[in-house]
Amino acid sequence: MKYLIPLVIVSIIFGSCVPKDKLFSIWIKNNSNENIYFIVNNYVDTLLPLTNKYLTKVEVNDRISIDSYQPWNEVFSTKYPKDTLLIYFFNNDSINKYDWETIRKSNKIMVKRIYSKQDLQNSNWYINYP
């Protein structure tokens, strides 16, 4: 018994110091002939965000990941309560030609795709564009 309390305390200390070096990824692969951009949004809010802060570029024949320190199954349960993720894709010309406010107001997106948690699990958390 006298060793139980120190053991619990040490376990708590070391358990809270475990580095978060494991990333869980959703991969987006650009199979098109042009660079693309994308932004991820919660399905509850179907409008483009006010800022393009999270706009991400994917070069031709390249891939990029959307990473989380939590497994995506858990993320969907908390951040995406409808178990659905929206991804807006934009072409290179629109991003380079227009400011973000014009893109938002004119809805200058190439395509909007909706992915359920089940869709992403079935594809092993991999999205191919187009």
Q: Position of tokens 């995406």?
A: 80
In this prediction, residue 3 carries a pLDDT of: 40
In this prediction, residue 82 carries a pLDDT of: 83
Cβ neighbours of residue 100 closer than 8 Å, sequence gap 6 or more? 51, 52, 55
In this prediction, residue 10 carries a pLDDT of: 41
Going along the chain from its start, the domains and CATH numbers come out as 21-129 (2.60.40)
pLDDT digits (tens, 9 = 90+) for 33-69: 999 999 998 777 678 989 999 999 999 999 999 999 9
In this prediction, residue 1 carries a pLDDT of: 47
In this prediction, residue 42 carries a pLDDT of: 79
pLDDT digits (tens, 9 = 90+) for 72-116: 999 988 888 788 899 999 999 999 999 999 999 999 999 999 999
Instruction: With a cut of 90, say whether residue 128 has pLDDT above it.
Output: yes
User: Which spans in 17-99 are helix H?
Assistant: 72-78, 92-97
- On the CB side of 73, CA atoms within 13 Å amount to 4
Name the residue with higher pLDDT: 51 or 5.
Answer: 51
In this prediction, residue 45 carries a pLDDT of: 67
In this prediction, residue 18 carries a pLDDT of: 42
Contact predicate 74/28, CB 8 Å: no
Provide the strand spans (E) within 43-104. 56-58, 63-68, 84-91
Closest listed residue to residue 45, CA positions, set 90, 99, 81, 91:
81
pLDDT digits (tens, 9 = 90+) for 11-30: 444 444 444 679 999 999 99
